[in-house]
Amino acid sequence: MTSTVQSPVRRTSKPQWPVRNAQGARTGSRVAPLFGLPATGIVALLLYLPFLWTTYISFTEYNGLGSPIWVGLTNYKAMFSDPDLVGALTNTLLWVVGMVTLPVVLGLLVAVLTYGHRWGTWLRLPFLLPYAISGVAVGVIWGFVLQPDGALGQALGFFGLPGASTGWLQAGPGNTLMMIVAVTWQAAGVNALLFVVGLQSIPAEPLEAARLDGAEGFRLFRYHLWPQLRPITTVVIGLSIVGSLKTFDVVWVMTQGGPGTSSETLALSMYKETFVLNDYGQGAAIALFLSLVTFAASVLYLRYQLADGDTR
Amino acid sequence: MARIANRTTALTALAVAGALALSACGGGGGSPAAKGEDKPVDSLKFYNDKGGWKEAFVQVGAASKKDIGVGMEPVGYSDSNAYTAFVRSSFRTKEKADLFSWHTGKELEDLVDQKLVAETTDQWTKAVADGNIPEQLKQYFTFDGKQYCVPLNAGYWVMYYNKAVFKKAGITATPKTWTELLAVADKVKAAGVKPFYQTNILFSFVWFETLLAGKDPDLYDALAAGKAKYTDPGVVEVMNDWKKMLDAGLFSDPGSKTEPQAQLKSGDVAMINFGTWFSGNLNTLKMKAGTDYDFFVIPNVNPALPKTSMIFETGPVCSAAQSDHASTVTKWTDWWVTPQAQTAWANSRGDLSFNPKAEVKDPGLATLNKDVGGDGYRLINRWFEATPVPVATKALEVFGAFVTKPGDPMPGLQKIQDEADKYWAKQK
Q: Which strand (E) or helix (H) includes residue B160?
A: strand B150-162
Is A65 within 8 Å of B114 when comparing Cβ atoms?
Answer: yes
Top pLDDT among B329 and A21 is at B329
- How confident is the model at residue A303, as a pLDDT? 81
- How confident is the model at residue A307, as a pLDDT? 65
- Among left, alpha and beta (phi > 0; psi -120 to 50; other), residue A180 is alpha
Task: Summarize the confidence of residues B355-375 as an average pLDDT.
Answer: 86
Is residue A294 a part of any domain in this protein?
no
Is residue A4 a part of any domain in this protein?
no
- How confident is the model at residue B61, as a pLDDT? 95
Residue B36 has pLDDT above 60, yes or no: no
Domain count, chain A: 1
Is A64 within 8 Å of B257 when comparing Cβ atoms?
Answer: no
Hey, is the C-beta of A165 within 8 angstroms of any chain B C-beta?
Answer: no
Phi first, then psi, for residue B300 (nearest 5°) are: -65, 145
Low-confidence ranges of chain A (pLDDT < 50): 1-12, 311-312
Is B405 within 8 Å of A148 when comparing Cβ atoms?
Answer: no
- Round the average pLDDT of chain B to a whole number and report it: 88
Hey, is the C-beta of A171 within 8 angstroms of any chain B C-beta?
Answer: yes
Q: Distances from the Cα of B308 to the Cαs of B197, B218, B299, B302, in angstroms? A: 22, 13, 7, 10
The domain in which residue A172 lies consists of 91-262
SS3 A224: helix
Cα–Cα distance measured from residue A144 to residue B257, given in angstroms and rounded to the nearest whole number: 7
Is residue A81 a part of any domain in this protein?
no
Q: How many CB pairs under 8 A join A and B?
A: 91
User: For residue range B57-107, what is the model confidence (pLDDT) as tens digits?
Assistant: 999 999 999 999 999 999 999 888 889 989 988 888 888 899 999 999 888
Is residue A124 a part of any domain in this protein?
yes
- CATH topology agreement for domains B43-154+314-361 and B156-311+384-425: yes
Whichever domain contains A248, its CATH number is 1.10.3720.10
Q: Which fold has domain B43-154+314-361?
A: D-Maltodextrin-Binding Protein; domain 2 (3.40.190)
Q: Distances from the Cα of B216 to the Cαs of A22, A63, B208, B237, B392, in angstroms? A: 94, 34, 12, 11, 19
Cis peptide before A18 (omega within 30 of 0): yes
Hey, is the C-beta of A11 within 8 angstroms of any chain B C-beta?
Answer: no
Cα–Cα distance measured from residue A256 to residue A270, given in angstroms and rounded to the nearest whole number: 13
- How confident is the model at residue A16, as a pLDDT? 53
Residue B116 has pLDDT above 90, yes or no: yes
Nearest-CA distance from B14 to chain A in Å? 11
Q: Could you tell me which CATH number the domain at B156-311+384-425 has?
A: 3.40.190.10
Prediction pTM value: 0.77
Cα A167 to the center of its chain, rounded Å: 29
Q: Best residue in B102, B253, B394, B403 to probe A by mutation, most A CBs within 10 Å?
A: B253
Residue B14 has pLDDT above 90, yes or no: no
Is A147 within 8 Å of B393 when comparing Cβ atoms?
Answer: no
Is B200 within 8 Å of A258 when comparing Cβ atoms?
Answer: yes
DSSP B20-48: HHHHHHTS---SGGGGT-----SEEEEEE
Cα–Cα distance measured from residue B305 to residue B245, given in angstroms and rounded to the nearest whole number: 21
Percent of chain B with pLDDT over 90: 67
Per-domain residue ranges of chain B: 43-154+314-361, 156-311+384-425
User: For residue range B162-215, what is the model confidence (pLDDT) as tens digits?
Assistant: 999 999 999 999 999 999 999 999 999 999 999 999 998 889 999 999 999 999
Task: Evaluate whether B107 touches B316 at the Cβ level (below 8 Å).
Answer: no
Residues in chain B closer than 8 A to A259 (CB atoms): 200, 254-255, 397, 400-401, 403-405
Q: Angle formed by the axes of helices B217-224 and B206-215, to 10°?
A: 120
Is residue A171 a part of any domain in this protein?
yes
Given B116, B201, B257, which is nearest A144 (Cβ)?
B257
Residue B235 has pLDDT above 90, yes or no: yes
Nearest-CA distance from A64 to chain B in Å? 6
Distance in Å from the first CA to the final CA of chain A: 59
Is residue A121 a part of any domain in this protein?
yes
Q: What is the ipTM of this complex?
A: 0.71
Buried b (16+ CB within 10 A) or exposed e, B365-394: beebbeebeeeebbbbbbbbbbbbbbbbbb
Given B81, B110, B398, which is nearest A63 (Cβ)?
B110
Q: Which strand (E) or helix (H) includes residue B147?
A: strand B146-147
Residues 13-42, chain A, touching B (beta carbon < 8 A)? 30-31, 34, 37, 41
Is residue A70 a part of any domain in this protein?
no
